């Protein structure tokens, strides 16, 4: 899923910087947000805690891992390498491309005395990884989507989303566009679940779901047009997502192409050629959300990396933010058990995505947004179109 994330254009930067300046003149973020930690968090304790960061260097999730790595380290840089009052030593391990390699990476870090593990991009690896951290009573802050079937994971906290939520969030929108939806997806567990949740909710709303044919993407989309559908739901990522977008442009149709964030955030949009029209994705984040926390995050991220932030990066930034808040609550030198216990004390979390909270299953209860793929100046962007629903 590696790709080139679009940079911000001059117009967008001027708008963001101007908003940040105005926010600085009128106040700032709430006391417990990532960008303005509490006084207690600002005062170093003199203690150093070890945090494990598990991300893949190769394979289908490498691009997402890079986004997570950038944003997590950006938070530390902006906060003097502190989480709460404690100095952080980050120990990294390569997640690899399988569940077994992810478990091995986490186990190795646990043996080095980390009090928390962050990352793990492969949703299929989370059940085994969750069992490993629970056995050692060290919390995992999972920064990418988690499978819905993950239950009883008492030491796993998700800062991204649950697989399938993106599809569910889009179903009501698809029904508003029209009753007939064409569904295609890749063979991954994530793509399959997103498509299944979308299809179920469309049918629950008395819509009609048509399963896509086999063959090339050009054939699939031509079949959708010939069947007179109103929307096409496509759950793909990486190179396949790029091919879907190209095929939709070549189709030159008014049919709306819908998908999870991976459809437009795991490929180099600048490299696919002209942007197709009528492409909408659902996510818990959009880079132009109108709140102070997001304006600061987008600005800082661009200053550091000359890139536009993705939802994957924002979830990783929130991983660091919630860890910082938890560390500030734990008295003395934190242990894994204490950190896990105090996660339950967080309550509402102010974030670039808006306000959210952990639900009883340790997953975000959060608002989902409809985003439209469009040019912001000359930069391909997933800009906010409208709110969808709250899930969690």
Same domain assignment for residues 111 and 47: yes
Look at residue 54 and tell me whether its pLDDT is greater than 80: yes
Q: Is 10 helix (H, G, I), strand (E, B) or coil?
A: helix
In this prediction, residue 151 carries a pLDDT of: 84
Q: For residue 15, is it within any domain?
A: no
Q: For residue 12, is it within any domain?
A: no
Residue range 340-346: mean pLDDT, rounded: 96
Same domain assignment for residues 53 and 113: yes
- pLDDT digit string, tens, across residues 71-109: 999 999 999 999 999 999 999 999 999 999 999 999 999
The beta-strand segments (E) located in the chain are 48-55, 82-83, 86-94, 116-119, 140-142, 156-158, 180-185, 208-211, 231-235, 256-260, 279-283, 349-351, 354-358, 364-376, 379-391
In this prediction, residue 87 carries a pLDDT of: 97
Same domain assignment for residues 264 and 315: no
The parent domain of residue 236 ranges over 165-283+369-391
| Domain harbouring 278, CATH code | 3.40.50.2300
Question: How many Cα neighbours within 13 Å face the side chain of 209?
Answer: 18
Look at residue 14 and tell me whether its pLDDT is greater than 50: no
Same domain assignment for residues 246 and 269: yes
d(CA 66, CA 191) in angstroms, rounded, equals 21
Same domain assignment for residues 208 and 263: yes
Residue range 142-167: mean pLDDT, rounded: 95
Residue range 4-28: mean pLDDT, rounded: 38
Same domain assignment for residues 310 and 387: no
Domains in the chain, number: 2
Q: For residue 271, is it within any domain?
A: yes
Ramachandran bin of 283, using left for φ above 0, alpha for ψ from -120 to 50, beta for the remaining angles? beta
Sorting pLDDT into bands at 50, 70 and 90, what band is 30? very low
- Predicted TM-score (pTM) of the model is 0.89
Same domain assignment for residues 184 and 111: no
Look at residue 16 and tell me whether its pLDDT is greater than 50: no
Q: For residue 17, is it within any domain?
A: no
Run of H or E including 321? helix 311-329
Look at residue 306 and tell me whether its pLDDT is greater than 50: yes
In this prediction, residue 42 carries a pLDDT of: 58
Same domain assignment for residues 95 and 169: no
Same domain assignment for residues 169 and 155: no
C-beta atoms surrounding 31 within 10 Å: 11
Q: Lowest-pLDDT range, 25-39, 47-61, 376-390?
A: 25-39
In this prediction, residue 22 carries a pLDDT of: 35
- pLDDT digit string, tens, across residues 176-193: 999 999 999 999 999 999
Same domain assignment for residues 197 and 331: no
Look at residue 205 and tell me whether its pLDDT is greater than 70: yes
CB 148 within 8 A of CB 131: no
Q: For residue 19, is it within any domain?
A: no
Q: For residue 14, is it within any domain?
A: no
Q: For residue 20, is it within any domain?
A: no
d(CA 351, CA 9) in angstroms, rounded, equals 24
Average pLDDT, the chain: 90
Q: For residue 195, is it within any domain?
A: yes
Same domain assignment for residues 118 and 156: yes
Same domain assignment for residues 140 and 171: no
């Amino acid at each position: 899923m590696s790709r080139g994330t679009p940079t911000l254009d001059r117009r967008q930067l001027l708008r963001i910087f101007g908003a940040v300046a105005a926010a600085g003149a009128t106040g700032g973020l709430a006391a417990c947000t990532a960008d303005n930690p509490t006084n207690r968090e600002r005062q170093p304790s003199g203690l150093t805690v070890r945090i494990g960061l598990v991300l893949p260097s190769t394979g289908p999730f490498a691009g997402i891992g890079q986004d997570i790595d950038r944003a997590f380290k950006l938070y530390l840089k902006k906060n003097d390498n502190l989480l709460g009052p404690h100095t952080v030593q980050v120990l990294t391990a390569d997640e690899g491309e399988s569940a077994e390699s992810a478990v091995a990476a986490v186990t190795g870090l646990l043996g080095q005395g980390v009090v928390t593990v962050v990352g793990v991009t492969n949703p299929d690896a989370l059940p085994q990884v969750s069992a490993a951290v629970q056995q050692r009573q060290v919390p995992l802050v999972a920064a990418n989507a988690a499978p819905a079937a993950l239950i009883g994971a008492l030491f796993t906290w998700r800062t991204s989303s649950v697989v399938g939520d993106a599809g569910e969030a889009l179903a009501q929108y698809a029904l508003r566009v029209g009753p007939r939806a064409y569904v295609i997806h890749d063979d991954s567990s994530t793509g399959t679940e997103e498509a299944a949740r979308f299809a179920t909710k469309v049918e629950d709303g008395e819509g009609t779901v048509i399963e896509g044919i086999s063959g090339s993407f050009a054939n699939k989309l031509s079949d959708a047009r010939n069947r007179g559908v109103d929307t096409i739901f496509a759950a793909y990522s990486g190179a396949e997502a790029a091919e879907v977008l190209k095929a939709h442009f070549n189709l030159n149709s008014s049919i709306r192409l819908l998908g999870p964030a991976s459809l437009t955030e795991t490929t180099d949009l600048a490299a696919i050629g002209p942007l197709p029209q009528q492409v909408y994705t659902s996510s818990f984040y959009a880079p132009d959300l109108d709140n102070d926390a997001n304006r600061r995050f987008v600005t800082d991220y661009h200053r550091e990396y000359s890139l536009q932030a993705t939802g994957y990066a924002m979830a990783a930034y929130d991983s660091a933010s919630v860890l910082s808040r938890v560390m500030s609550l734990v008295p003395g030198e934190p242990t894994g058990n204490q950190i896990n216990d105090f996660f339950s004390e967080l309550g509402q979390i102010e974030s670039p995505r808006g306000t959210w909270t952990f639900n009883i299953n340790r997953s975000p209860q959060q608002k989902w947004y409809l985003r439209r793929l469009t040019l912001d100046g000359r930069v391909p962007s997933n800009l906010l179109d409208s709110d969808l629903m709250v899930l969690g």
